[in-house]
Amino acid sequence: MLSQDSIATVNLLVRSLPCEATLPPTLQGVFSRQPIEKFEPGAAVFWEGDEAEHVFEVVEGVLRVYKILGDGRRVITGFMYPGDLIGVSLKDRYLYTAEAVTRIQVRRFGHNRFQEEINRSPELRPQLFARLCDEMAAAQDQMVLLARKSAEERVASFLLHIARRLDNGHPPLRVVEVPMTRLDMADYLGLTIETVSRIMTRLTSRGVIAPSGRHAIIVRKSDKLTALAGEIEADHNASPAYTKQAVWPN
């Protein structure tokens, strides 16, 4: 058994050891100390045109972001998942509405404080820049989808996108949660709800997908779905690597 003097010596040596290196800050870490807020399906986190006072991190659930055209039509520009940031903008007002598709949990951070955190952290700046690069790439993909792809290609691309998103860019999951409505899909894909429903039925009858409950599908033929989307799997596998290499410009 160690003597009291030996124990005291060990404690002194332990206290004199160098502390473990502090982990670099992350965007998730910026929000980690903020309280969680909950919203029910259909509730808006903020509306287009509201003063942009906060930036939000999605903790759980799915949101849709959309704009309302002058004639009253809704255009969904994207769906947000856990880990996504919403409300990041240099404008003083939000450019879109963020609305819950499912029950969601978010954390909010003051917009000015968020900018201060980014500006004084050389580690956070490239992380935010990578996120913005991803958003730009997604916007370009959406432009191609709406301008060049047929209705069937659009629906197939949408299902593949969700599957890859839920599986972090790997080959599509077999069972894919699709919490959004057919109307949501139509407003995102620039189609009518009838066209979306007809194509989903066609994909089911051809054995490409199968329903699994109210809000999920089974991807039975992922290669066929990829072909119908007019996509090449390798192109999507390359995207995450580009994101990781993104750096803040000088």
Q: What is the pTM of this model?
A: 0.76
For residues 67 and 167, state if they share a domain: no
Parallel/antiparallel/unpaired status of strands 74-80 and 54-60: unpaired
Question: Residue 135's pLDDT is what?
Answer: 73
- Split into its structural domains, the chain has a count of 2
> What is the rounded distance in angstroms from the CA atom of residue 100 to the CA atom of residue 43?
6
Among 76, 106, 121, identify where a domain stops. Answer: 121
Residue 4 counted as domain residue: no
Both tokens assigned to 32: 């980690």
Tell whether 127 and 219 lie within a shared domain.
Answer: yes
Asked whether residue 16 is assigned to any structural domain, the reply reads no
pLDDT confidence bin for 125, thresholds 50/70/90: confident
Same domain, residue pair 223 and 99: no
Torsion from C-alpha of 69, 98, 143, 90, nearest 10 degrees: 100
| Res 2: pLDDT | 43
Q: Which domain holds residue 201?
A: 122-250
C-alpha to C-alpha distance for 247 and 139, rounded to whole angstroms: 20
Using left for φ > 0, alpha for ψ between -120 and 50, and beta otherwise, residue 110 falls in beta
Give just the sign of the alpha carbon dihedral 190, 95, 26, 28: negative
Q: Is residue 131 part of a domain?
A: yes
**Lowest-pLDDT range of 78-87, 171-180, 190-199:** 171-180
Taking each helix axis from N to C terminus, what angle separates 151-166 and 124-148, rounded to the nearest 10 degrees? Answer: 160
Structure confidence at residue 172 (pLDDT): 57
User: Residue 29: what pLDDT?
Assistant: 80
Q: Is residue 11 part of a domain?
A: no
The CB-side HSE value for 154 (13 A sphere, CA atoms) comes to 23
Same domain assignment for residues 200 and 91: no
Structure tokens at 23: 């982990």
Residues 154 and 61 in one domain: no
For residue 76, the surrounding DSSP H or E stretch is strand 74-80
Residue 243 maps to a domain: yes
What does the angle CA 223 – CA 236 – CA 216 come to, to the nearest 5 degrees?
55
Rounded to an integer, what distance in angstroms lies between the CA atom of residue 37 and that of residue 59? 9
Q: Do 100 and 147 belong to one domain?
A: no
Res 140: pLDDT? 77
pLDDT at 164 over 70: yes
> Residue 178, Cβ neighbours under 10 Å: how many?
22
The confidence band for 246, taking pLDDT boundaries of 50, 70 and 90, is very low
Note whether 84 and 159 are same-domain residues.
Answer: no
Q: Nearest-CA neighbor of 31 among 110, 119, 138?
A: 110
106, 121, 136 — which closes off a domain?
Answer: 121
**CA–CA dist 118, 211 (Å, integer):** 44
CATH code of the domain containing 246? 1.10.10.10
Alpha carbons 219 and 64: distance in angstroms, whole number: 23
Which residue among 97, 121, 145 closes a domain? 121
